[in-house]
Amino acid sequence: MFRKILTPVDLAHLGALDRALEVSADMAKRHGAEIVYVGVTTQAPSAVARTTEEYERKLSTFAATEGEKHGCKTSAHMVVSHDPAIDLNINLMRATEEIGADLIVMGTHIPGLAEHVWASHGGAVASHAGVSVFLVRG
Number of domains in the chain: 1
In the 8-state DSSP scheme, what is residue 45? -
* CATH number of the structural domain spanning residue 35: 3.40.50.620
Instruction: Kindly indicate the confidence band of residue 138, based on its pLDDT and cuts at 50, 70 and 90.
Output: confident
Q: Is residue 116 very low, low, confident or very high in pLDDT (cuts 50, 70, 90)?
A: low
The pLDDT of residue 111: 65
- Residue 66 phi/psi, 5-degree rounding, is -65, -40
Buried b (16+ CB within 10 A) or exposed e, 44-68: eeeeebeeeeebbebbbebbeebbe
Closest Cα partner for 20 from 104, 92, 98? 104
Domain span holding position 43: 4-114+121-136
Does this model's pTM top 0.75? yes
- Express each pLDDT in 13-32 by its tens digit: 998 899 999 999 999 999 99
